[in-house]
Chain A
Amino acid sequence: MDELGKFSPEIKHILARGIKASWPICLGYIPIGLAFGVLAQKAGLSPLEIGLMSLFVFAGSSQFIAVSMMGSGAGFLAIVLTTFSVNLRHLLMSSSLARYLGHPGRRWVSLFAYGVTDESFAVNLTKFLEGDWHWREALVLNHTANLAWIGSTVLGGVGGRFIPEGAFGIDYALTAMFLCLLVFQLRGKLFVLTAILSGVFSVVLALRIPGNSHIVIASMLSAALGVLLKRGHLRIRKSQSKAGAASVSNCTHSERDRYEK
């Protein structure tokens, strides 16, 4: 009991911080979750099946696509492959998060990985960069968002038709959140340039390729160009400083010569 007494304030603190940081995500998930629930119910899924799908997959856009594919009679393999390609972008997000997560141990990493979404990635990464953010808090954030998602999809399946659409501009919550997190990520000229490149690539590709592969292609390409720019910049600086160092050493040589003479 003493152990529990020692632990509980700390755990409460972690829970409180994780839940507090997740509110914009939860707020944004509710209208999307409700909309998904309504759509899935129309496609013939029971509330229990909707909840199970949200629990297993926990990836909004792919769930929308899967339900519409199920409605149009697509096969098992087609749906699974589409889901895979739609959610492949999380590979980049997990790679990015891996550098900040620390060493929680395999089981916790596995539990954390389940909750990596566009939204939790963006908030957690920002928090990690600000410092004062622990993987335990990140884990709480992921799973609070998960609960909000599962809950709102089931609710949508049960009675989403009776909820008015677009109340209080709630449909814009995630867009506004992403706009602000993008601002937080603009940490220098190179980041601004990468953001511009990625935005342009993404829009151009989105208008040409169906699906959402534009996100992965644009991000990888613009980050690669960013690295090339950074490296090119570094090389110029290095050669300049080498030249500078050479002239300095020449100077000292000549001064040494003078002293020796």
Chain B
Amino acid sequence: MRSEYILLFAAMGLVTYLPRWLPLHYLSRKGLPPWFVDWLELIPVAILSALLFPDLLSAGEPRQWTPLTPGLIVAVPTFIFALKTRSLAGTVVLGMALFWAAEKIL
């Protein structure tokens, strides 16, 4: 165990923890302006979409446009299945199975 690594991990931990902790500590439901509440209401759907689509449509570092990968093709039936069934467990299992099959075939 090297001490310089412990120091590095501790510093990394601190700068990761603070953004996670500050809003939970200071933001309460009371006293927030309505436009901000509206904005926060839309943040989850925006984040999920912002996380998902670049990974489905691009790859590498720097990112390159990669349409029609197995991941994107599998996403279509998986998304429709989620819409129809609203089952998290079913969607995860189906997605994995389809991706596994797609990787073998394509």
Mark A residues whose CB is within 8 Å of B.
Answer: 23-24, 27, 45-46, 48-49, 52-53, 56-59, 62, 66, 76, 79-81, 83-84, 87-99, 101, 106, 109-110, 112-114, 116, 118, 121-122, 125, 166, 168-173, 175-187, 190-191, 194-203, 206-207, 210, 214-215, 218-220, 222-224, 226-227, 230-231
Beyond A62-B16, A112-B24, A227-B38, list 8 extra A-B contacts (CB 8 Å).
A76-B8, A172-B98, A176-B99, A195-B49, A198-B47, A222-B49, A222-B50, A223-B42
23 A-B contacts, Cβ less than 8 Å apart? Answer: A46-B1, A53-B9, A62-B12, A83-B15, A89-B47, A94-B22, A110-B21, A113-B25, A118-B51, A125-B44, A172-B71, A172-B100, A177-B91, A179-B82, A180-B86, A194-B42, A195-B48, A195-B49, A207-B54, A218-B49, A226-B46, A227-B35, A230-B38
Q: How far is the CB of A118 from chain B (nearest CB, A)?
A: 6
Contacts of B29 in A (CB 8 A): 98-99
Measured CA separation A227–B21 after assembly (Å): 25
CB atoms of B82 and A180 under 8 A apart? yes
In the complex, the answer to whether B50 meets A219 with C-beta atoms within 8 Å is yes
A202 touches B96 (CB 8 A): no
Size range of the chain B interface in the assembly: 35 or more
Q: Which 4 A-B pairs have the closest CB atoms?
A: A176-B95, A169-B100, A56-B13, A172-B99
Residue pair B100, A207 in contact (C-beta under 8 Å): no
Using a CB–CB distance below 8 Å, which chain B residues touch chain A? 1-2, 4-13, 15-17, 19-25, 27-29, 35, 37-40, 42-58, 61-65, 71, 74-75, 78-79, 82-83, 86-89, 91-92, 94-101, 103
